Amino acid sequence: MEILPLKKIPEVDPRKHYSAINTAVMDVPSMRKHSPPSHSDDDMIAITTQGTTSEAPVHGNLNPLQGFGVSGNHMDPEGELPPGFGQYEDFQTIDWQRDIARDRTRHRHIIKEKLLSVFGRMKGAHDAWSGWVCVLLVGIAAGTCASLIDIGASWMVDLREGICPAAFWLNKEQCCWGSDETLSYEGGSGECKEWHPWSQILGGGRSGTGATVLSYFCYILWSLFFAVLAAMLVRVFAPYACGSGIPEIKTILSGFIIRGYLGKWTLLIKSVGMMLAVAAGLSLGKEGPLVHVACCIGNIFSYLFPKYGRNEAKKREILSAASAAGVSVAFGAPIGGVLFSLEEVSYYFPLKTLWRSFFCALVAAFILTSINPFGNQHSVLFYVEYNRPWMLFELLPFIGLGCIGGVIGSIFIKANIRWCRYRKISRLGQYPITEVLAVAGLTAMVAYPIHFTRMNTSQLIYMLFSQCGPADNHELCDYNRNFTNVNKEMNIAAAGPGVYKSLWLLAFSVIIKLIATVFTFGIKVPAGLFIPSLAMGAIIGRIVGVGMEQLAVAHPGLWIWGGECGPNSFCVTPGLYAMVGATAVLGGVTRMTVSLVVIMFELTGGVRYIVPLMAAAMASKWVADALGKEGIYDSHILLNGYPFLDTKEEFGYTSLAADVMQPRSEPLAVLTQDGMTLGEVEQLLSSTDRNAFPVVVSKESQFLVGLVVRRDLVLALENAKSTQTGITHRSPVVFSSAITRTTLPSEEESSPPVRLSKILDMAPMTVTDHTPMETVIDLFRKLGIRQVLVTHYGRLLGIITKKDVLRHIHDNEDDGFGGLGF
Amino acid sequence: MEILPLKKIPEVDPRKHYSAINTAVMDVPSMRKHSPPSHSDDDMIAITTQGTTSEAPVHGNLNPLQGFGVSGNHMDPEGELPPGFGQYEDFQTIDWQRDIARDRTRHRHIIKEKLLSVFGRMKGAHDAWSGWVCVLLVGIAAGTCASLIDIGASWMVDLREGICPAAFWLNKEQCCWGSDETLSYEGGSGECKEWHPWSQILGGGRSGTGATVLSYFCYILWSLFFAVLAAMLVRVFAPYACGSGIPEIKTILSGFIIRGYLGKWTLLIKSVGMMLAVAAGLSLGKEGPLVHVACCIGNIFSYLFPKYGRNEAKKREILSAASAAGVSVAFGAPIGGVLFSLEEVSYYFPLKTLWRSFFCALVAAFILTSINPFGNQHSVLFYVEYNRPWMLFELLPFIGLGCIGGVIGSIFIKANIRWCRYRKISRLGQYPITEVLAVAGLTAMVAYPIHFTRMNTSQLIYMLFSQCGPADNHELCDYNRNFTNVNKEMNIAAAGPGVYKSLWLLAFSVIIKLIATVFTFGIKVPAGLFIPSLAMGAIIGRIVGVGMEQLAVAHPGLWIWGGECGPNSFCVTPGLYAMVGATAVLGGVTRMTVSLVVIMFELTGGVRYIVPLMAAAMASKWVADALGKEGIYDSHILLNGYPFLDTKEEFGYTSLAADVMQPRSEPLAVLTQDGMTLGEVEQLLSSTDRNAFPVVVSKESQFLVGLVVRRDLVLALENAKSTQTGITHRSPVVFSSAITRTTLPSEEESSPPVRLSKILDMAPMTVTDHTPMETVIDLFRKLGIRQVLVTHYGRLLGIITKKDVLRHIHDNEDDGFGGLGF
């Protein structure tokens, strides 16, 4: 029999851990048996070679906590169970019902104690408040962390261009604070004397061809340096810190265990790597990874409160709140963050969690505003205020933008998934650092010449969202100005040549951005998708917006304007189009709906513009859903084969439980409630790799008694062998507590029985063989169970695990019932 | 045997319907058998005497639609079932799983057709879009309806004071539109020439003691007239139109059927009654009833789309969206409306519904803004903009306000419930119109002398929320003014005597409001709680706010102000305190959390003030929860005995399924799959009143085969008796389809068998007897099942219905596990 090295899990070679995750659904046994990773997982091997050895102490420290004797089996609270019961191995799915029941048992215990002593009362109060205290701490830490990341990233971004010799730790804006020159948002212009570009420091002067070439080289060199640093850090210290993290967090929140994914090393490396990756000029954002960072914080703080740290189901409540805080600090949008957590990330979201998430998101946003890294009085990233209402006719271009956004989103997803699949199956995956270097170098080389791509993407988005005011003198705002002679009528909204030049550059930029992002999302550095998607959409929207604006200038009398456009007024806001376009593309990529609109609404703060945003988001989602079913996160979940059971999808199968259950042909591996010997049980354990074994009255009758989890069984047998004397492989294994008396007489002649009634779950979930799979899937999704037993007229027929359900969904995916998500 | 008059349900005397609702949980059989209503339900009899005879045609018309041959039994789609299968009787709980399965069957059918013909494709498209079209229509109708109600109510409110002889259909503001006199928000002052108060029309002049007395009498007379009209309308045409409707809508959305509650008569009478009740000066609002009105609209429109109209579970998706639209138009807060629907009202809320609810709420708000009954450019009821940030120290008074709000909320709930219970058990309930008259008369008499209570409550709230500007000349804004001499320094924030006088009057008003609302909520007119709660809170908040302001004036140097307060500046915004106070009291009364904060945030449109609102809402909820577990809606649900299984509560019982199941002692009433005669089955049906009967292999073995619903069984037996020939009471009843062949030989000698395999549900939900009740309750709540069968080792032991679960929860309520909701 193969006894698992349970205590040694943290020391298991992390490269196998990581590779195993990719085959987790279809290949769990291979993982458990430490089989060599399959070819398709080679991509991570190079990275994870020295990987999480530094990660291990995190769990090494925390494991003892987890093993603390919380009654694991809620059915039998009086029994003393050896430590480790009710815990999970890595890459296992948790049993929500059991964990929640465990928490209730604990809660009852505390309430009982509360009535007995003052200490009990204090303990009760601590228990009652710990959830709130925990999310408060998470909020504070997430806000602080986001501020530090913002400050660090902004400093590093400017470092590519120059330095502040007076105080090297200042970024360009801070450096120029004292200067009386105005600093516009454009990257190239508006420099102040205090700020020294590298060309000047290296002796090439501040301007001229030589200076430009020198700046270009410095820019590329810095980009490469930052990129390679980020990739090295990820590779050496925390392989889990790469990518956006949202697909994995969705999987974790749905009840999967990935040890170390939310550890402190991941947190640290992801934070630092994020700044470096942004500063490397790669086409990525730090907003998605901020959700991962917030979840790491949530995970770490949850260990301060045993109620959450020791209970995987309860811990996920904290993680849901943390992910809300992550979005909240990423965009300064607390309500949007909560809805994002509800709509996109979370799985089990009771209303209590809604309230806590809101609190957590709000605290995080409040801390961020107090530290104020954006340097303005608003707590949001791209705060804009438009002073013109939109016209009803404009809904048409808005919906058009939505459709464009949906198409671009689908193209992006398909191209990115194809590239990622190619990376997985080709040798490319073995050279992640080289890949990062190549992508960073090419991006920097192409991006520098065009100032729209050179500048920080957040600044670009902000510029595109904004209205042109009198103080804006960049080319995009090259409109006819007439500030001096108020009597002379002039077409103030007519575009100058600078605007047209900008439009061409913007059109070119969006192509560069799209290609760069396809190749960037998936490389082994922290990389988010929000900002590149927003930027693409904002560019397209701005182009359409300027087009509409000039149409209004050329034909102000058209009926479509409803008489609101005159030659002397701006009546179309190109910035609003940029915002609508950004919404559309982000919607097409992520398939967010309500949360997307609310996030964008919180950026402007005006209820008035919800309708355009909503129209674009809806059009985008419908078009994108028609072109491809999954959003980018779900596509990556599928690509990586995570065991994720989507709560949103509706399944229209006609199959019944009997069609899906295992085993189909050979008899099911079952235990009988008595009458089996230790040897037979061990033989069964080694001959099959099931995670749970049904216990029946007898092999002949197959009437169901209960269920035993493999891990508990192995632990209990080991425990019995080490503590009980006289245990041989002929000792009977007894699951029933009632029938023991009848077996007692035989005890003298043979070896004493191993009594396992304590680990027997007498309340397994059962369905009949005629139950439609829709109902079975609902059971899995809504109750979070791990397996369901199938019976017919009371007799056990088979078992359906989450794995079987996922395989069934996968097999039936192309039967045409996916549809448009209606 | 007692055969139920199934086809006659619409004609059943509505007074019994209504009385039955109060005993629905504990007394279902009495309802079905048309037993005389118990003493405690006498209160509604007088009202409903002539009640819903006019309501009946609604269902009479719609019933044929419902009976359309959609395959009711998803297990056996090939069989032809008589019409009526899969439908529900009044006051029954729906089976969510079965309804959703039915919808999927229908969906599969449409998809199959789609591939066959153009017509099929059109049908498929119509089906796919019908949900969106439906919520669009609901949104438009809800927005329009809310606008009309607003316009009507505002006209009627002003009618109590006077009339516009030039155009009687104008309200005071519109009447004075052309006048050059300014019209302040105060009721008494700021009259224009075009507007004639009643005293003037009746010859008493515009001012003087005589005019005042005359106005007083007219005011009271109009109030009584409006009140009695509202009460009569409700009594005669739609008894369901009284009250706020939210407790009942919660119950309906949780899966209960109350026919006529959301019918067109209820819609009409509630809309008209709402205007009348507001105009009668009663201490109530029209915001809660707007939710009911929107749900009526949702219900009516759902019948246009058979997908929703014929499927109770799907219909509830539309109702969830409609309730969001209701709050959206009530406050101009679409996001808040969606969250209200999610948090407070809805039961089954898939993400698809979230998205549609948002759309619906947005459309409704958009229509409302376009019709623009509030007469301002903002779509919200109390739009305010504060220009001063709050100080960290102010969190302390905000939290204090939260605590006060929690206390007031609890007091209100306890007093109101006590009064409502008294009404139920005493003779008072028999005179609902007299009660309305008495309350209206007393309220009008007391309210008129104080202008804060006399004015429209919405206007009062708006005034309290606002900052005092230079144009405000009412007493509450009696601050020292110094507009002429800019050089002379003056303490502009010091309050004048008018402010202090106002404070006394406000303090008096809040007591009047509290008492009036306790007696008003529950009388038989449409009555919402939002506005009175907000008003009470706003008054208290304003008082505290002015206190803080004057503290800052008196001691501007205190450290708590952080140096932001000078003698020359307002540094405390009393309006913000009013808003925080309003949040606190509304939170204490309804126990809303996130939705409350978001609604209040949407009123101001500033992220900055979320933190104070949140602090107050949290403090309020905690304090109120500590003083009494249920909010006002849940209290009324309990009071009326609706079968509502709260999704929010957590239960900490140690009991198992075996402890709760029925029957406890005598053997369970079961059917066997064959071997029973028609006579035996009919005997069983008449001897017990269970809604469902398990079918077992044989009486001896008790192995479970399936479940038959009483209604289906009765229909099928009737159907068999009328269509099959030779059916006697000795005919065997056969549920199994496999064993029929063995019984065939005997067919010749005896009567032919009644084959009922089509109505047998082969997939009943089962649990083992050891399953903890927590899991069973989760099954009921999350899957929406109606009953669960309890087995032991495969043998049927008993059955647990929703009724049993509710009784169990009720019995265990006082075991100390309710707690603070942590």
User: Of A607, A636, A665, at which residue does a domain stop?
Assistant: A636
State pLDDT tens for residues A253-275. Answer: 988 888 889 999 999 999 999 99
SS3 of A380-426: the string is CCCCCCCCCCCCHHHHHHHHHHHHHHHHHHHHHHHHHHHHHHHHHHC
Q: Could you tell me if A232 and A268 lie in one domain?
A: yes
State pLDDT tens for residues A177-198. Answer: 655 544 444 444 456 777 888 8
Among A359, A652, A775, beta carbon nearest to B97:
A775
On whether any CB of chain B is under 8 Å from the CB of A612, the answer is no
Query: Mind telling me how many Å the CA of A424 is from chain B's nearest CA?
Result: 33
Residues in chain B: 822
The residues, ordered by sequence, that sit 6+ positions from A310 with a Cβ below 8 Å of its Cβ are A65, A66, A68, A70
Asked whether residue B339 is assigned to any structural domain, the reply reads: yes
Q: Under an 8 A CB cutoff, do B783 and A775 touch?
A: yes
Asked whether residue A706 is assigned to any structural domain, the reply reads: yes
Asked whether residue A343 is assigned to any structural domain, the reply reads: yes
- Token pair listed for A111: 């309430």
| pTM for the predicted model, two decimal places | 0.83
- Token pair listed for B626: 């500590």
Q: Could you tell me if A596 and A673 lie in one domain?
A: no
Going from the C-alpha of A88 to that of each of A63, A255, A312, B664, B694, the distances in angstroms are 11, 11, 9, 38, 38
Q: Distance (Å, rounded) from C-alpha A337 to C-alpha A530?
A: 13
- Residues on chain B touching A379 (C-beta within 8 angstroms): 607-608
- 63-102 in A: which are within 8 Å (CB) of B? 74-75, 97, 100-101
Task: Give the pLDDT band (50/70/90) at residue B506.
Answer: very high
CB-CB contact of A75 with A763 (8 Å): yes
Q: Under an 8 A CB cutoff, do A652 and B128 touch?
A: no
Among A359, A594, A795, beta carbon nearest to B354:
A594
Q: Which chain A residue lies closest to B596 (C-alpha atoms)?
A: A355
Give the residue carrying structure tokens 């099954």. B779
Element (H, E) at A811: helix A802-811
Q: Per mean pLDDT, which range of A116-125, A668-677, B482-491 is the poorest?
A: B482-491
Q: Could you tell me if B261 and B407 lie in one domain?
A: no
- In angstroms, the first-to-last Cα distance of chain B is 51
Asked whether residue B91 is assigned to any structural domain, the reply reads: no
State pLDDT tens for residues B437-467. Answer: 999 999 999 988 888 888 888 888 888 888 8
- 31-50 in B: which are within 8 Å (CB) of A? none
Task: Give the pLDDT band (50/70/90) at residue A16.
Answer: very low
Q: Could you tell me if A327 and A218 lie in one domain?
A: yes
Q: Which of A35-39, A466-470, A500-504, B647-651 ranks highest by mean pLDDT?
A: A500-504
State pLDDT tens for residues B678-715. Answer: 888 888 888 887 888 888 888 878 888 888 888 888 88
Nearest to B535 by CA among B459, B611, B597, B468: B459
Please return the burial class of A350, using the count of CB atoms within 10 Å of its CB with bins 0-12, 13-18 and 19+.
Answer: middle
Q: Per mean pLDDT, which range of A682-686, B654-658, B711-715 is the poorest?
A: B654-658
Indicate which CATH number applies to the domain containing B672: 3.10.580.20
On whether any CB of chain B is under 8 Å from the CB of A28, the answer is no
Task: Give the pLDDT band (50/70/90) at residue A665.
Answer: low
Q: What percent of chain A has pLDDT over 70?
A: 78
Nearest to B330 by CA among B153, B171, B453: B153
Among A335, A343, A697, beta carbon nearest to B335:
A335
Q: What percent of chain B has pLDDT over 70?
A: 78
Q: Could you tell me if A217 and A340 lie in one domain?
A: yes
- Residues on chain B touching A775 (C-beta within 8 angstroms): 97, 101, 763, 783
Element (H, E) at A754: strand A754-755
State pLDDT tens for residues B218-256. Answer: 889 999 999 999 999 999 998 898 888 999 999 999 888
The answer to whether residue B661 scores a pLDDT higher than 90 is no
CB-CB contact of A175 with A298 (8 Å): no
Among B127, B343, B771, beta carbon nearest to A763:
B771
Q: Could you tell me if B433 and B564 lie in one domain?
A: yes
The answer to whether residue A333 scores a pLDDT higher than 80 is yes
Query: Mind telling me how many Å the CA of B174 is from chain A's nearest CA?
Result: 25
Q: Could you tell me if A355 and A414 lie in one domain?
A: no
Among B127, B335, B697, beta carbon nearest to A793:
B697
* Interface-testing mutation among A103, A775, A781, A817, with chain B (most B C-beta atoms within 10 A): A775
CB-CB contact of A578 with A545 (8 Å): yes
User: Of A355, A371, A387, at which residue does a domain stop?
Assistant: A371
Provide the sign of the torsion angle of the four alpha carbons B621, B622, B625, B626, taken in this order. negative
Q: DSSP letter string over B402-441?
A: HHHHHHHHHHHHHHHHHHHHHHHHSGGGG-HHHHHHHHHH
- Token pair listed for A793: 């007229």
Q: Distance (Å, rounded) from C-alpha A785 to C-alpha A775?
A: 13
Q: Under an 8 A CB cutoff, do A766 and B768 touch?
A: yes
Asked whether residue A47 is assigned to any structural domain, the reply reads: no
- Residues on chain B touching A112 (C-beta within 8 angstroms): none
- Residues on chain A touching B820 (C-beta within 8 angstroms): 128
**What three-state secondary structure class fits A322?**
helix
Asked whether residue A223 is assigned to any structural domain, the reply reads: yes
Query: Mind telling me how many Å the CA of A707 is from chain B's nearest CA?
Result: 12
The answer to whether residue B20 scores a pLDDT higher than 90 is no
Q: Under an 8 A CB cutoff, do A335 and B779 touch?
A: no
- Residues on chain B touching A707 (C-beta within 8 angstroms): none
Task: Give the pLDDT band (50/70/90) at residue A606.
Answer: low
CB-CB contact of A252 with A206 (8 Å): no
State pLDDT tens for residues A760-785. Answer: 888 888 888 888 888 888 888 888 88
Mean pLDDT of chain A: 78
Q: Residue B11 corresponds to which amino acid?
A: E
Q: DSSP letter string over B37-69?
A: PPGGGHHHHHHHTTGGGTTHHHHHHHHHHHTS-
Host domain of residue A685: 657-738+751-818
Provide the ipTM: 0.81
- DSSP at B662: B
- Residues on chain A touching B593 (C-beta within 8 angstroms): 354-355, 358
Size of interface A-B (CB pairs under 8 A): 200
Residue B163 has what pLDDT?
85
Task: Give the pLDDT band (50/70/90) at residue B569.
Answer: low
Residue B566 has what pLDDT?
63
Q: Under an 8 A CB cutoff, do B652 and A107 touch?
A: yes
Among A332, A614, A794, beta carbon nearest to B703:
A794
Q: Could you tell me if B273 and B327 lie in one domain?
A: yes
Q: Under an 8 A CB cutoff, do B350 and A107 touch?
A: no
Residue B268 has what pLDDT?
94
The answer to whether residue A487 scores a pLDDT higher than 60 is no
Q: Could you tell me if A613 and A663 lie in one domain?
A: no
Give the residue-averaged pLDDT of A342-364. 85
Residue A815 has what pLDDT?
45
- 119-148 in A: which are within 8 Å (CB) of B? 127-129, 131-132
The answer to whether residue B605 scores a pLDDT higher than 90 is no
Q: Per mean pLDDT, which range of A7-16, A408-417, A419-428 is the poorest?
A: A7-16
Q: Per mean pLDDT, which range of A627-636, B206-215, B294-303 is the poorest?
A: B206-215
Give the residue-averaged pLDDT of A424-432. 87
Mean pLDDT of chain B: 78
Residue A13 has what pLDDT?
40
- Residues on chain A touching B352 (C-beta within 8 angstroms): 648, 821-822
The long-range contacts involving B721-729, CB below 8 angstroms and separated by at least 24 positions, are B724/B752, B724/B754, B725/B752, B726/B751, B726/B752, B727/B678, B727/B751, B727/B752, B727/B754, B728/B678, B729/B677, B729/B678, B729/B679, B729/B682
Give the residue-averaged pLDDT of B474-483. 68
On whether any CB of chain A is under 8 Å from the CB of B698, the answer is no
- Residues on chain A touching B597 (C-beta within 8 angstroms): 358
Residue B783 has what pLDDT?
83
Q: How far out from the chain centre does Cα A396 lie?
A: 34
On whether any CB of chain B is under 8 Å from the CB of A156, the answer is no
The answer to whether residue B369 scores a pLDDT higher than 50 is yes
Q: Residue A638 corresponds to which amino acid?
A: L
Q: Residue A103 corresponds to which amino acid?
A: D
Q: Could you tell me if A566 and A662 lie in one domain?
A: no
Task: Give the pLDDT band (50/70/90) at residue B665.
Answer: low
Considering its fold, how many domains does chain A have in total? 3
State pLDDT tens for residues A57-87. Answer: 333 333 333 333 333 333 333 344 555 566 7
Q: DSSP letter string over A178-217?
A: T-SS---S-SSS---TT-EEHHHHTTS-SSSHHHHHHHHH
Residue B63 has what pLDDT?
33
Going from the C-alpha of B207 to that of each of B194, B202, B561, the distances in angstroms are 15, 12, 46
Among B100, B657, B782, beta carbon nearest to A782:
B782
Query: Mind telling me how many Å the CA of B651 is from chain A's nearest CA?
Result: 8
Among A111, A611, A767, beta carbon nearest to B362:
A611
Q: Under an 8 A CB cutoff, do B75 and A768 touch?
A: no
Q: Under an 8 A CB cutoff, do A704 and B817 touch?
A: no
Going from the C-alpha of A154 to that of each of A29, A150, A366, B357, the distances in angstroms are 46, 6, 20, 40
Which is more confidently placed, B812 or B448? B448
Q: Under an 8 A CB cutoff, do B764 and A764 touch?
A: no
The answer to whether residue B279 scores a pLDDT higher than 80 is yes
Q: Residue A670 corresponds to which amino acid?
A: V
- 344-383 in A: which are within 8 Å (CB) of B? 350-352, 354-355, 358-359, 362, 365-366, 378-380
Give backbone dihedrals phi and psi of B705, rounded to 5 degrees, phi first: -105, -50
Q: Under an 8 A CB cutoff, do B822 and A706 touch?
A: no
CB-CB contact of B776 with B766 (8 Å): no
Q: Could you tell me if A164 and A258 lie in one domain?
A: yes
State pLDDT tens for residues A516-571. Answer: 999 999 899 999 999 999 999 999 999 999 998 888 888 777 777 766 666 566 67
Q: Which chain B residue lies closest to A370 (C-alpha atoms)?
A: B392
Asked whether residue A139 is assigned to any structural domain, the reply reads: no
Query: Mind telling me how many Å the CA of A70 is from chain B's nearest CA?
Result: 16
On whether any CB of chain B is under 8 Å from the CB of A422, the answer is no
Helices (H) and strands (E) in chain B, counts: 32, 11
Q: Could you tell me if B673 and B612 lie in one domain?
A: no
Which is more confidently placed, A370 or B504? B504
Residue B589 has what pLDDT?
94
Q: Distance (Å, rounded) from C-alpha B51 to C-alpha B280?
A: 23
Task: Give the pLDDT band (50/70/90) at residue B183.
Answer: very low
Among B108, B705, B774, beta carbon nearest to A101:
B774
* Interface-testing mutation among A74, A351, A399, A607, with chain B (most B C-beta atoms within 10 A): A607
Q: Distance (Å, rounded) from C-alpha A180 to C-alpha A194?
A: 11
Among B127, B704, B775, beta carbon nearest to A97:
B775
On whether any CB of chain A is under 8 Å from the CB of B496, the answer is no
User: How many C-beta atoms lie closer than 10 Å to residue A726's C-beta?
Assistant: 8
Asked whether residue B437 is assigned to any structural domain, the reply reads: yes
Residue B652 has what pLDDT?
64
What pairs with residue A708 in β-bridges? Answer: A693
Give the residue-averaged pLDDT of B34-38. 36
Indicate which CATH number applies to the domain containing A337: 1.10.3080.10
Q: DSSP letter string over B486-499?
A: SSS---TTSB-HHH
- Residues on chain A touching B655 (C-beta within 8 angstroms): none
